[in-house]
Amino acid sequence: MSQLSTVVLASGNPGKLREFQALMQPLGVRLIAQGTLGIPDAPEPHPTFVENALAKARHASAHSGLPALADDSGLCVAALEGEPGIHSARYAQTEAGGKSDEANNRKLIRALQGVTDRRAWYVALLVLVTRPDDPLPVIAQGTWDGTIVDSPRGDHGFGYDPHFFLPSEGLCAAEMDPARKNAISHRAMALQTLLSQMRTRGLVT
């Protein structure tokens, strides 16, 4: 199987694109966002991260004719029985404020008012397909343990990063240097697993 040179990222999220580009560039893989190719977002009707990621990867590959990388990621909070989970990006979409990081964070903090158990996990589920009907997708998962704090901190990152506190770092994810975050985040851990599998299959060196 030939090595990958160009891969479509099945996401329109600019934060994810920046992170993935920084992680993939050293491998000589050019990553392009599906939106630049006019590819619409795929439906995400499934109840699990892995099913949604696979659906998005196959969708992007079918529309582009190229290998595609998708992730389904989110924040799972222990006290909320895993929510927002797969709904993380659109957690507050039905409320005033619509689909935005700010609205999502406001809803999360409201939901945790008076709750002492603040354990939370960022989850990243990555899927790479070499073609739409790839019978052996490359699948990898990473998790990042933290806690939720009420007051936002930091100006970096996106999503729930201003409220996701990492005891091991003494910082919220949004306070971290982007290079440090890219080295230890849930997405970085998932990508390292993904890359190991890609090397085994000869997709990258």
Instruction: Give me the domains of the chain, ranges plus CATH numbers.
Output: 6-200 (3.90.950.10)
Question: pLDDT at position 141, please?
Answer: 97
With H, G, I as helix, E, B as strand and everything else as coil, classify residue 10.
coil
Task: Write out the catalytic residue numbers.
Answer: 72
CA distance 13 to 161: 15
Question: For the segment 120-151, what is each residue's pLDDT rounded down to a tens digit?
Answer: 999 999 999 999 999 999 999 999 999 999 99
Length of the chain: 205
Asked whether 41 and 55 are in contact (CB, 8 A), the reply is no
Whole-model pTM: value is 0.85
Question: pLDDT at position 95, please?
Answer: 57
Question: For the segment 175-203, what is each residue's pLDDT rounded down to a tens digit?
Answer: 999 889 888 999 889 989 998 999 999 99
**Strand spans (E) along the chain:** 6-9, 30-33, 68-77, 119-129, 138-148, 164-166, 171-172
Q: In the structure encoding, which two tokens stand for residue 68, read together?
A: 């595609």
